[in-house]
């Protein structure tokens, strides 16, 4: 399986010594159907470009935006595009994704989209989040693979779990934890492994309230990657800031 680290220009110098494949987090959808680039000069070439929907303006001219993305791919030799769309899906961005899929296919470049945009770009590769906090990870993955038609149509979006669940948790929703707070809370706790979730966990009590803390480390991430590879998935994307402390163990 090929691992790609999502890096900003500031991260790249550090990451380049510990990885060989990258997604360049340097682009977002602007107003006027523009492709905006980060302010510092980019030294990127090859691998993939990431396009964010953060503060995205309404895309009234998807052809113009697709053209800008295609030109950037050609200019910098990118192999394709990862749509890092996290907000609620929008019709204008769905139209952009559909048109971009066609445009990139013409130049033999790949498009990766989150599951919320998979129906808009059915021939793109769907990004599947690995941060599963309920059910069974293998069943979750196999169901998506069945729906998408195999591992070549899916890539792993590796998100490192650090999730605190206050018990009881009837909604199944936890609170993400910052690394420092997590390490402080974990100190001295007995840690266990969940075969169903492919993640580690511990329990504790704070202010009289029971907590269940679910988390990933290098071993659990590698376990998820091995499961994905066994299912025929060929590509995984990891956020460099989330894994910089364990990157040497993942290579």
Given a cut of 50, the residues of the chain with pLDDT beneath it are none
Phi, psi of 227 (to 5 degrees): -65, -45
What's the pLDDT at 173?
76
> Alpha-carbon distance 2 to 156, whole Å?
10
What's the pLDDT at 222?
97
227 and 141 Cβ atoms separated by less than 8 Å = yes
What's the pLDDT at 170?
61
Phi, psi of 39 (to 5 degrees): -65, -45
Indicate whether this model's pTM tops 0.95: no
> Alpha-carbon distance 194 to 201, whole Å?
7
For residue 45, the SS3 value is: coil
> Alpha-carbon distance 4 to 215, whole Å?
21
pLDDT tens column, 44-69 = 778 999 999 999 999 999 999 999 99
* Structural domains present in the chain: 2-160+217-250 (3.20.20.80), 163-214 (3.10.50)
DSSP codes of every residue in 14-42: HHHTT-S-EEEEEEEE-STT-EEE-SSPP
> Alpha-carbon distance 209 to 201, whole Å?
17
96 and 62 Cβ atoms separated by less than 8 Å = yes
């Amino acid at each position: 399986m090929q691992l790609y680290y999502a890096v900003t220009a500031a991260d790249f110098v550090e990451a380049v010594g510990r990885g060989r494949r990258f997604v360049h987090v340097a682009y977002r959808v602007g107003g006027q159907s523009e492709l905006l680039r980060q302010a510092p000069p980019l030294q990127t070439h090859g691998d993939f470009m990431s396009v964010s929907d953060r503060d995205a303006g309404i895309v009234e001219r998807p052809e113009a935006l697709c053209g800008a993305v295609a030109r950037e791919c050609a200019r910098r030799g990118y192999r394709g595009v990862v749509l890092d769309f996290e907000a609620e899906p929008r019709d204008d961005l769905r139209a952009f994704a559909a048109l971009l899929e066609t445009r990139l296919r013409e130049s033999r470049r790949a498009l990766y989209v989150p599951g919320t945009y998979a129906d808009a770009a059915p021939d793109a590769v769907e990004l599947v989040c690995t941060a599963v906090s309920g059910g069974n990870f293998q069943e979750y993955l196999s169901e998506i693979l069945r729906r998408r038609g195999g591992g070549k149509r899916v890539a792993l979006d590796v998100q490192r779990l650090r999730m605190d669940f206050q018990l009881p948790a009837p909604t199944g929703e936890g609170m993400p934890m910052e690394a420092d707070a997590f390490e402080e809370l974990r100190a001295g706790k007995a840690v266990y492994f969940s075969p169903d979730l492919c993640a580690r966990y511990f329990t504790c009590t704070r202010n009289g309230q029971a907590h269940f803390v679910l988390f990933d480390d290098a071993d659990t991430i590698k376990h998820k990657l091995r499961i994905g590879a066994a299912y025929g998935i060929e590509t995984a994307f990891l956020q460099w800031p989330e894994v910089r402390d364990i990157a040497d163990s993942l290579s």
